[in-house]
Amino acid sequence: MTLPPLTLPSDLASAHAALLAERAARLQAEAEAANAKARLSNIEALNAHLQLLLGKLMREKYGPRRERTQRLIDQLELQLEELVASAAEDELDAHEAAAKTQSVRAFARKRPVRKPWPEDVERERIVVEAPTACASCGGSRLSKLGEDVTETLEEIPRRFKVTETVRERFTCRDCQAISQAPAPFHATPRGFIGPQLLATIVFDKFGQHIPLNRQSTRFKCEGIDLSTQTLADQVGHVTFALKPIFDLIEAHVFQAERLHGDDTTIPILAKGQCTTGRIWVYVRDDQPFAGPAPPAAVFYASCDRRGEHPQRHLADFSGILQADCYNGFNLSADRRMLACAERPLLDRTKRQMPATPAFCFAHARRKFFELADVARNARRGKGTKPISPVALEAVKRIDALFAIERDINGLSAAEPLAVRQEKSKPLLGDIKEWLRTERASLSRSSPAAGPIDYMLSRWADFARYSDDGRTCMTNNVAERALRGVACGRKAWLFAGSDRGADRAAIMLTLIMTARLNDVDPKAWLADVLARITDLPASRLPELLPWEWKRIRQAENSALMLAA
């Protein structure tokens, strides 16, 4: 097929008009293309936003503590950030392209309704100078009809202040004695940094994972010269000052009937190279069975993962320990007495029974899920291993147990126990028999044989939760407590020494316990550092996060009633 010959105008005026028409058509096409691209970007961002909302709703309804669901939600949030930023850029391109034409209307995205700013935010009123004459006729008889207010959120750079505490001296004209008010207390010896700034330093280091050298650089950019050595000196003093609070939290945690325990790696600098140390966590959380005790977490650090460390931590604990199947957590009575042998004689007069293990179904399910992850195999493409039907069936059977737990989470211990006896225990019996049957037909080299042996060899400890309403199916509470350490490793790279890891464990204990009790860690630390040096030892329990929160709420209620 041949195209007709291109006809060009013979005169200059017609050629000029044709060029203008061609340019207008091109600009219109570009504007329409830019609009289409902006509309497509907006649809993609809206789709990601709806997927995120759906994921959050499904998590709230079916699995508020599922680790995989939370990871997927985090990925969706990151994806949404990128799509919204791209949609904003494409919208601006569409506006620029539409401005060059007369016939194309620029695409405008629908944005969510902005929430009002908090009432306590500082406000500055800037009044634009009013016109003195009418812009239409030039008359000067203007009458005010009203005003339009445009609100813009702005940031005030961090401000520092030096507090001068003046103590006047007086002399007695009768006896010549000198009188002077006592010096103010400081949280740190020779303190020259206030409690609010101290709380900022330690919270940024251990709660936001910002190393001290980066903090020092930021302070210098803001006009304050605080060297890394100075900040490190203050961190050591703060850790020492807050050690009594750590001891109170530690005692509270190990008085629990049930604990969650777990550990993760932490690089520790030693003799010019990094060794792989461990951070251990034990969490007391009675909320799943409506227990009255406030939640708390205690962290410890060690230079390796030898079993002597959890044996020492749990030497006086005899309740239910929920953990993975690491042998260091499984303490026999003889090993428990060896761990207690290092303690003072007064602490060893009462023989403690070993902890009762209760293993985590999330760990067991994860081993099967890796063999039945259809989505991961689809991403890998060619060369992937086939999906294991045995693993897929195991995941479905375990998920049926989790579905029962979602409906009874938060009830008193007696109610979950009744439901588990009625619904979960028969399913557990069926799963055990099914695993035995399948294992008998599998070869030793089968990928599913390992996860099945993992469960069958420890079945009594896996199924223990069905006979106790206080026990959870998973150990996700401890894993969530360690998530900050895993994220922080990418920021601070390593702990500077074994003692540095111990300091991190103390501060992580305080920050995580505050978060578990819905307390702002930074505000709590600032108040504790301002009061702890002047507070009698008998009143130190008032500074525990849950007591601090209760007292604050009572004070706020009293102020509201008085107003």
The string of DSSP codes covering 261-320 is EEEEEEEEEETTEEEEEEEEEEEE--GGGT-SSPPEEEEEEESS--THHHHHHTTT--SE
| Long-range CB pairs of 484-489, under 8 A, 24+ apart, other chains included | 484/207, 484/209, 484/508, 484/512, 485/264, 485/266, 485/279, 486/264, 487/209, 488/209, 489/265, 489/266, 489/267
Identify the CA nearest to 101 among candidates 167, 5, 35, 163: 35
What tokens does 249 get?
Answer: 């939290």
Taking the C-alpha atoms of residue 458 and residue 441, their distance in angstroms, rounded to an integer, is 20
Model pLDDT, residue 378: 44
Identify the CA nearest to 508 among candidates 277, 208, 269: 208
Do 230 and 249 lie in a common domain? Answer: yes
Do 337 and 415 lie in a common domain? Answer: no
Residue 405 in this model has a pLDDT that exceeds 90: no
Mean pLDDT in residue range 227-245: 86
Do 208 and 335 lie in a common domain? Answer: yes
Taking the C-alpha atoms of residue 457 and residue 470, their distance in angstroms, rounded to an integer, is 23
Q: Is residue 363 part of a domain?
A: no
Instruction: Please tell me the total count of domains within the chain.
Output: 3
Do 387 and 516 lie in a common domain? Answer: no
Taking the C-alpha atoms of residue 296 and residue 422, their distance in angstroms, rounded to an integer, is 32
Quote the DSSP letter at residue 137.
T
- Split at pLDDT 50, 70, 90, the class of 272 is low
- Split at pLDDT 50, 70, 90, the class of 209 is confident
Name the domain boundary from 420, 455, 474: 474
Q: Is residue 244 part of a domain?
A: yes
Name the domain boundary from 99, 125, 148: 99
Do 467 and 522 lie in a common domain? Answer: no
Do 436 and 457 lie in a common domain? Answer: yes
Model pLDDT, residue 335: 44
Residue 276 in this model has a pLDDT that exceeds 70: yes
Residue 110 in this model has a pLDDT that exceeds 80: no
Taking the C-alpha atoms of residue 400 and residue 424, their distance in angstroms, rounded to an integer, is 9
3-state SS, residue 323: strand
Name the domain boundary from 99, 127, 155: 99
Q: Structural domain of residue 51, as residue ranges?
A: 24-99
Residue 312 in this model has a pLDDT that exceeds 70: yes
Report DSSP letters for 416-430, one per residue: HHHHIIIIIHHHHHH
**pLDDT higher at 367 or 50:** 367
Mean pLDDT (the chain, rounded): 80
Mean pLDDT in residue range 212-232: 85
Residue 386 in this model has a pLDDT that exceeds 60: yes
Q: Is residue 488 part of a domain?
A: yes
Q: Is residue 165 part of a domain?
A: no
Distance of CA 67 to the CA centre of its chain: 13
| Long-range CB pairs of 517-521, under 8 A, 24+ apart, other chains included | 517/294, 517/295, 517/296, 517/545, 517/546, 517/549, 518/549, 519/545, 519/546, 519/548, 519/549, 521/203, 521/207
Model pLDDT, residue 298: 95
Q: Is residue 133 part of a domain?
A: no
- Which residues, 6 or more positions from 191, have their beta carbon under 8 angstroms from its beta carbon? 237
Are 336 and 354 in contact, with CB atoms under 8 Å apart?
A: yes
pLDDT tens-digit readout, 536-545: 889 999 999 9
pTM: 0.74
Q: Is the dihedral of CA 46, 49, 55, 57 positive or negative?
A: negative
- Which residue type, as a one-letter code, is found at position 542? E
Residue 375 in this model has a pLDDT that exceeds 70: no
How far apart, in Å, are the Cα atoms of 187 and each of 184, 195, 236? 10, 7, 11
Other residues' Cβ atoms within 10 Å of the Cβ of residue 201:
24
pLDDT tens-digit readout, 331-372: 544 444 444 444 443 343 344 557 888 888 888 888 888 887
Q: Is residue 127 part of a domain?
A: no
Do 284 and 398 lie in a common domain? Answer: no
Residue 11 in this model has a pLDDT that exceeds 60: yes
pLDDT tens-digit readout, 499-523: 778 888 999 999 999 999 999 999 9
Q: Is residue 52 part of a domain?
A: yes
Do 463 and 524 lie in a common domain? Answer: no
Model pLDDT, residue 379: 47
Mean pLDDT in residue range 557-562: 84
What tokens does 473 get?
Answer: 């199916």
Model pLDDT, residue 495: 63
Bridge pairing between strands 320-323 and 258-270 = parallel
Residue 534 in this model has a pLDDT that exceeds 70: yes
How many CA within 13 A on the CB side of residue 356?
Answer: 15
pLDDT tens-digit readout, 296-309: 999 998 888 888 88
Do 291 and 222 lie in a common domain? Answer: yes
Q: Is residue 218 part of a domain?
A: yes
Do 247 and 329 lie in a common domain? Answer: yes
Q: Where are the alpha helices (DSSP H) in 63-158?
A: 67-99
Model pLDDT, residue 59: 61
Model pLDDT, residue 345: 37
Residue 65 in this model has a pLDDT that exceeds 50: no
Bridge pairing between strands 356-359 and 320-323 = parallel
Do 212 and 323 lie in a common domain? Answer: yes
| Long-range CB pairs of 64-68, under 8 A, 24+ apart, other chains included | 64/406, 64/409, 65/474, 65/476, 65/477, 65/480, 66/476, 67/362, 67/476, 67/479, 67/480, 68/369
pLDDT tens-digit readout, 162-194: 888 888 898 988 888 988 888 777 777 667 888
Do 548 and 512 lie in a common domain? Answer: yes
